[in-house]
Structure 1
Amino acid sequence: MLASVALPIMIILLIVTTVAGMPMGIAMIVSSIFYLLMAGRDMGLASEQVLNGLFGNFVALAVPLFIFAANIMNAGKISDRLLKFALAVVGRMPGGLAQVNILTSLIFSGMSGSAVSDVAGVGKILTTMMIKDNRYPRGFAGAITATSSVVGPIFPPSIPMVFYALISSTSVGVLFLGGVIPALLIVVVLSIVVMIAAKVRGFPVEAPIALRAFPLIILRALPPLMMPAILLGGIYSGAFTPTEAAAVSALYALILAVFAYRSLGLREFFDVVVATVRTTAVVAMVLAGAFIFNYVITVENIPQAVFAFFDSYEMTTVKFLIMVNLLYLVLGCFLDVSTIMLVITPLFIPTAAALGIDLHHFGVVIVFNMMIGLITPPYGILLFIIKALIGIPLGEMIREIWLFVGVLIVLLGVITFTPELVLWLPRVAGLL
């Protein structure tokens, strides 16, 4: 009797504990253990799933290493050099600082793989510059910073793509390379939108930089600019795995900050380590909860039930992708990325595979979709971070963000129904 109601009670308990304010990772662990008790299963299964998941997946080690590299980039002032480089390249375009914001996010994304790190680091600096002396409306400055930051987890390296590779048994290398063209499309389209907005609203351009200053600016920015090339070149040449690439990125950032630029002392390094450990602990807790929770979902044959549901409605590939995108756009308004990726996504992977959808393409679409959720009210975590760091009222940013959300949704549709935009580069590289 108890076994028959264990699953619904587990789901109710998960919802109640989450609404009550319990961290998602702990809520998943508590509700899953409660299920094991009610279903009469061995309690040791919980520990087994966590240990196998966290220590049996070598690729999971990439997550804390990429977090460490991003924290070094911010603390070591390396992002300042990238900002000056971007200012020299695109500062004279209409909406100069907004264009710098977009380009800097692309460059920084090649090092961190995290939208939050982008916003908290170089995004904070740029937003403050944009609102100084009322050069840009506060809401617009916050909105473009949040929107440009979503490039981070789409352009390689990408922490969400590492998560997806964990749950789908796909190639991290293919996922990384598959995100390149979608990320560049975001940058180009956002740049055009900002250019039009600048013309209509009279946004300023930046003062020209003397031509003789360019060589020094480029030289100072060249070492951090080389990191994406080193990472991708190493991965696709076979010199190291994606996980080893994360270690290389952390070491490279550390060498730049400590020895090349001498901008990271012992105290700052200690703060970086503490911040990395705290963030990693949160991620590890969510992963641990997801491994137990997904075991329960598998035991209860939920993915098969989802597939049977779609099959009963004669679901086509197009209908399935539209439905998944709509569902994720709604979920992204209320749930964080890790929860959606680790709890919801495994339910749809078997159906996507059965419909003949390339799982690498599906993964990039899912990540792209979830990045839109980072800037979509009412959750919009990036908007909350900007409010906390800079003090821009949420209402002002929300009024400006809808244009960018609309543009990204259109791009999502293009990426969803044009798989070659994702798969072309991996094929050229001989990975598919």
Structure 2
Amino acid sequence: MSTAILCGLIILITLIIMLIAGVPIAVALGVSSVCAILPIMDFDVAVLTGAQRIFSGISVFSLLAIPFFILAGNIMNKGGIAIRIINLAKVITGRTPGALAQTNVLANMLFGAISGSGTAAASAMGSIIGPIEKEEGYDPSFSAAVNVATAPTGLLIPPSNVMITFSLVSGGASVAALFMAGYIPGILWGLACMAVVYFMAKKRGYRSTAKYTAAEAFKIFLQALPCLLLIIIVIGGIIAGVFTATEGSVVAVVYSLILSLVFYKSIKLKDLPKIFIESAEMTGIIIFLIGVSGIMSWVMAFTNIPEAVSAGMLAISSSKIVILLLINIILLVVGTFMDMTPAVLIFTPIFLPICEALGMNMIHFGIMMIFNLCIGTITPPVGTTLFVGVKVGGVKIETVIRQLLVYFAAIFIVLLLVTYIPQLSLWLPSLMGYV
């Protein structure tokens, strides 16, 4: 048995056992990686090198963007943004069949992009739109399914912390290019779900009677405009080269503070310590996870595990179509029981070399991977967004899963389009000169 296969099996078996035992994912990653290198390295050297890899893994300037985007998202979540986004989405959807459900889809796309969290979008939108839909005769399970199915779109539509993580672990992917690449796939996901909502709502007779005068619509737009300007300022500044993604995250914090404290006055100074503490806790978890993943990346590179996996997959088939399909299936399965950040940290070093050997662009691969893992957030048994959406909707998970099946079909079609049509991901980055 080769060294790569032996070390790979040790990592896999140890990791699975520790996760089943309830060991935190970061600890499981570090311990399994150190165990894997022991057959070819002394224990003290392995531990010392592992510790060095943790510190070198987090000593990266671009990582500062993650805590600031998390903080900006938490401020915006508590800053009265959701209701203004919903009101704007209502105006846009008008009186189309299932207008309130269409509003939910559009609001999730906008709010998810602003907050950078699918879970926050599902919670905020579900708690506000859900009761209104119920009053107008919508089936609560239908409403919850729409909310759950579209909440992850904000993880593809920038800014997105998982894209920053992928940029780091890929060893060179441009954050700005990834941000631009996420727009079309994220919008296509939302549009596919809107098409499903249209036909299902038409069949069930869900119609809106709401009307807005031009003056009312303009007023609602003006109220929501400051929220939308966050995306324009941050993403526009990064694209124009005014500031980096890291500097843009600081701009997002300052802007969201001014918006929430001064403009909307929806949070007070006494609320800030709690927001800072919550953001610090989330940051600590993610940064520690990234640091520990540096041990696994080093072990994989040292023992040539990616090369062994690549050789094994290419031995199955030399067809690019088949290999990409296999990678999609693996990522879909992984996403059902693993959070996005650890999945990106673990599987990027394994699958990226294979895809690059097949001539796939790094940015295209990153969007394909993130798209797959986004689906995992709304899929049992560990789909966090799914469980949040079900809890907020006050319905049983079995009834929501049945309603979600048609949305999964639409989303999978978009995934295949994103996988096999590179320009869906690369057109905007190439237009901006990033690719």
Q: TM-score range by the shorter chain?
A: over 0.9
Stretch deviating more after TM superposition (341-350 or 183-192): 183-192
Q: Which residue of the partner structure matches residue 156 of structure 1?
A: 158
1:65-99 Cα offsets, whole Å, 9 max, x none, are 11111111111112221111111221422111111
Q: Does 1:48 align with 2:49?
A: no
1:306-333 Cα offsets, whole Å, 9 max, x none, are 1222333452221211111111122222
Identity of counterpart residues, as a percentage?
33
User: 1:10 Cα shift?
Assistant: 4.0
Amino acid at match of 1:303: P
**TM-score computed with the length of structure 2 as normaliser:** 0.93
Q: Which residue of the partner structure matches residue 18 of structure 2?
A: 17
Note if contact 1:29-1:292 (Cα within 8 Å) is conserved in structure 2. Answer: yes
Q: Which residue of the partner structure matches residue 240 of structure 1?
A: 243
**TM-score computed with the length of structure 1 as normaliser:** 0.94
Note if contact 2:290-2:345 (Cα within 8 Å) is conserved in structure 1. Answer: yes
User: 1:399 Cα shift?
Assistant: 1.0
Note if contact 1:109-1:157 (Cα within 8 Å) is conserved in structure 2. Answer: no
Assess, with a 3 A threshold, how the Cα gap between structure 1 residues 206 and 172 changes in structure 2: closer, same or farther.
Answer: farther
Q: Which residue of the partner structure matches residue 345 of structure 2?
A: 342
Q: Distance in 1 between matches of 2:12 and 2:381?
A: 23
Assess, with a 3 A threshold, how the Cα gap between structure 1 residues 359 and 10 changes in structure 2: closer, same or farther.
Answer: closer
Q: Does 1:410 align with 2:413?
A: yes
Q: Which residue of the partner structure matches residue 144 of structure 1?
A: 146
RMSD: 2.0
Q: Distance in 1 between matches of 2:202 and 2:105?
A: 17
User: 1:122 Cα shift?
Assistant: 3.0
Q: Does 1:250 align with 2:253?
A: yes
Q: Distance in 2 between matches of 1:127 and 1:328?
A: 31
Query: What is the aligned length?
Result: 429
Point out where structure 1 has 5 or more consecutive residues left out of the alignment. Answer: none
User: 1:422 Cα shift?
Assistant: 1.0
Note if contact 2:261-2:269 (Cα within 8 Å) is conserved in structure 1. Answer: no
1:86-113 Cα offsets, whole Å, 9 max, x none, are 1122142211111111111121133222
1:222-254 Cα offsets, whole Å, 9 max, x none, are 111111111121011110111111111121111
* Counterpart pick for 1:197 among 176, 192, 200: 200
Point out where structure 2 has 5 or more consecutive residues left out of the alignment. Answer: none
Q: Does 1:283 align with 2:286?
A: yes
Structure 1 residues 3-402: aligned runs within 5 Å:
8-35=9-36, 39-41=41-43, 42=45, 43-55=47-59, 57-130=60-133, 132-133=134-135, 135-168=137-170, 169-402=172-405
* Counterpart pick for 1:430 among 412, 416, 433: 433
Note if contact 1:179-1:364 (Cα within 8 Å) is conserved in structure 2. Answer: yes
Note if contact 1:386-1:392 (Cα within 8 Å) is conserved in structure 2. Answer: no
Q: Distance in 2 between matches of 1:194 and 1:330?
A: 26
